[in-house]
Structure 1
Amino acid sequence: MHDVRIEADDPPAWAGDRPVVLIVDDTPDNLAFLSDTLQAHGYAVLVALSGEAALKCLARVTPDVVLLDALMPEMDGFETCSRMKQDARHEHLPVIFMTALTESEHVVRGFRVGGIDYVTKPVRPEEVCARIGAHVLRSRAQSYAQAALSLDARAALIVDDAGTIRWRSPHAARQIVAYGGERGESADDGELPGNTAEQTRLPAPLRSWFVDWLAQGGPADAMHEFTVGNVRRSATATPAPKLGEWIVMLTEADDTAHCNALAARFSLTAREAEVLLWVSRGKTNRDIGDILGMAPRTVNKHLEHLFRKLNVETRATAAALAVKVLVDRT
């Protein structure tokens, strides 16, 4: 087997833009043949010698396709597939069974546990590559369609490692203007990777943060925040369906608009609305005093008035009422 063969416990960074195939087979010779064949056709390969090893691999890496031997000792391919599909992350992961069994009950069993296709042994290289290629295209299209549908109503971008925008929602198209971007300079709203529409990189402030975020290993809790006037903006990033791409979420909060909404809803003074806004964000009296430039005892006085107007007794209840108003207006 070639030295570049990828073991199942290696990190996924090696894959680049290549589709990733996980091969599960208890026979090393079969693994060697299939691994060499798929690598020669441009695939990145993960291998596992058992169903248990495959599940451990899938806990860390999600491939594009799984090529799964049906008959293995201890945990066979049918049980492996069934357990694989119990994980929501792998619900739509294409599984192609490899089997010497052509009886209809075995074929049906493979489909019942979540398989999408099968090939018979001995495997014919051109056939298996053709089937894998078709399922990779279908899987990636479905993943992006699902991501786009779930993100379309939010300010979301899909970008690659260089910060090139591959897709953006209409809300994101409007918000990136505030970061120095122009609404019309990237791909048309809703464009997906692979389309030929002109694309662009993230605006400079977001790109600088994103590059630093990647350099730090992509920490899940990292958030970029800054304030322009009364508007607070933030950005976060998480992995996208395709390796090497990322979902960047943008949020903005207009403090003046929020205060006006709270004042109108509860008949508050401007100062009371400001205090309530910061209470809804979990700030203490001392924090609110520092933010608004007043003594903590003055904050407390405003809170007493707030509680009477809202007909509540605790700041937690007041915060909950404020959050509901602000969520309803978005």
Structure 2
Amino acid sequence: MTPAPDLQTRVLVVDDNADARGFLARALGGEAMAVHAAHSGDAALAALAFFEPDAVLLDVDMPGMDGFATCAAMVDRHADLPVIFMTGLGETGHIVRGFEVGGCDYVTKPVAVAEVVARVRSHAAKARLARSAREAVLGSAVAMLAASAGGQLMWMNASAAALLQAHGWAAVPPGGTLAPPLAGALQALQEDPGTQDLRLGGLRLRRLTGVTAGVTVVELAAQAAAGDGAAPAELTPREAEVMVWVARGKTNRDVAEILGMSPRTVNKHLEHIYEKLGVETRTAAVAAARRGLA
């Protein structure tokens, strides 16, 4: 059964060789994919105005605008667009440069149809997920952000940026580096299926996506008051940094070296953390933090 048009994988094939374009268009079309073929980099960029691909198959050697320049221009316009380079066997320099300009993968010529189809489907699925996450985050009035599997910020809406700044956390642009405590909290949400919520520096972080999604969407909110009406004690940003590294299994000496402080200072921070969390041991503090009580 042919997928509905809006569910078909959409592929942009870019190659100056008419035979190669035709071969790929027929092969991918036979796999129920929607294909648009372009004979040059300029034509490919023009096609983006009316054809929204889930993945791009891009030849390296083309007259005029080559594959590298075309890829750079594409990802500048659509950062989450997966570009798969087609390059000659053994052209290691092409492969390296392709990744440098924003490509996500490569196949060698002459291409094997089964390999191309598998790679296109894999990257297209990830791209669709990323696009959905971006639209959800940027289109929401609720404070939300999305991060990649490595904890790097992908998107943040205006509400999330304002909330972070109101609680003393610097808002960063897409692709930027979040403060270590925030990055650590995101990583904990991404890696632990049992952790759905975390509280950090007056903020509550709630994971909205599964841990295997590849893109993690998190909702932010000001930390709610405890059920008895008393606000729970909050960790300072510095205490939160210490707790992030302790939760990762680092010793006090390791934490001191990472954060540029003395082991004695780390000990003092931990004393305050234990008091705020109402615990007496390092293990209990880590468990409390993972339960979202920090």
Q: Give the TM-score, by structure 2 length.
A: 0.46
Structure 1 or 2, whichever has the larger Rg, is 1
Q: Give the TM-score, by structure 1 length.
A: 0.41
